[in-house]
Amino acid sequence: MVTIGLDEARADIAALLDRVEKGEDVLITREVARAPELAGGLTMEEILRPLDELRNSLPPWDRPSAEMLRELRDEGY
């Protein structure tokens, strides 16, 4: 994920949209000088990295998620 300040995003919004369309995650913040920090001094990017790795390791779904969720609901999950 890339973090970009609002002023920089305004200056080149078309390029940012191209990056997002290609699958890159873009976080636009009011201030880019100081990255957001969470407990333990970890940034949001560091916390979300394992989730991104998991998402990338999963096979593509062969049907709509709503259909899959309805089936799980009906099975008692």
Q: Which residue has the tokens 């009906």?
A: 74
Q: Which amino acid is at 1?
A: M
In-domain check, residue 39: no
Is residue 40 one of the residues assigned to a domain? no
For 8-34, the DSSP string reads HHHHTHHHHHHHHHTT--EEEES--SS
pLDDT at 21 over 80: yes
For residue 67, tell me if it sits in a domain: yes
For residue range 26-52, what is the model confidence (pLDDT) as tens digits?
A: 888 886 555 555 556 777 888 888 998
Output Rg (C-alpha) for the chain, integer angstroms: 17
The answer to whether 40 and 18 are in contact (CB under 8 A) is no
Placement of tokens 């001094």 in the chain: 41
- 2 and 30 belong to one structural domain: yes
pTM of the model: 0.39
Task: Give the range of the structural domain holding residue 15, as residue numbers without chain letter.
Answer: 1-34
The answer to the question of residue 10 being in a domain is yes
Domain count, the chain: 2
According to the model, what pLDDT value does residue 27 have?
86
